[in-house]
Amino acid sequence: MLLFWLENVVIGIFNVGRMATAPPYTVSVTTYQCFLIPFFVVHYGIFTLVHGVFVFVLFLPKTAALGTSSGSAPPTPTGFLTAVLDCIPPMVPLALLAIILSHGASFFLNFLWRGERFLTDLDTLMMAPYRRVVLLYLTLLAGSFIVIGLGTQKPSIAVFVLLKIMIDVMAHLAERNRYASKKIAADGEAGTNNAAPV
């Protein structure tokens, strides 16, 4: 659950980069970016923050006391942060690094270098992370049923991770195919416009 939440954060950060580098580079589009990007940061940030609170309170048991000894006293920021850090598994930072590298490679190679930024618009980019989050939640729901059905923890986690990887690969391929179709259509339109009149 923690990695799912962290991946949502990473997705949001790179989506800001996509929105900031999306053409056309005109005054009107830049003005729209100056409005839409902060709106996305606030809206998606609140959404992710609420999700994160549920993850830490419901699924990470050491944070249930909110950094207090009895669980009844008001929480302290330092105590809560310490409780959160104490309950994070050692492999999470490495997994987070892999997630950042994966999304970073897709951003720099596909969106910037291969020109996918020319095949989309700000409104589409604004909604893209929410579609990904819905897909992640559906994966969580399916994985929860698998965990309940299998009962034992380790096989359940293995199946859950495999399911998540499979859906990630399918989503990645679907996105690449969607951009490829847009590029073919754009190239065809450009060829028609550049054709000499008969």
Whether residue 197 is contained in a domain is answered as no
Whether residue 103 is contained in a domain is answered as yes
Rounded distance between C-alpha atoms, residue 82 and residue 63, angstroms: 9
pTM of this prediction exceeds 0.75: no
* Domain containing residue 97: 2-191
Whether residue 196 is contained in a domain is answered as no
- pLDDT for res 39: 96
pLDDT tens-place values along the chain, 198 residues long: 777 888 889 999 999 999 999 887 788 888 999 999 999 999 999 988 888 877 777 666 555 555 444 555 556 667 666 766 676 777 888 888 988 998 999 899 989 998 888 888 899 999 988 887 777 777 666 666 666 666 655 555 666 667 667 777 777 777 777 777 777 766 666 555 555 454
- pLDDT for res 198: 47
Overall number of domains in the chain:
1
Place of tokens 């989506």: 15
Whether residue 142 is contained in a domain is answered as yes
CA-to-CA dists, residue 64 to 32, 80, 93, angstroms: 42, 9, 22
Whether residue 25 is contained in a domain is answered as yes
Whether residue 198 is contained in a domain is answered as no
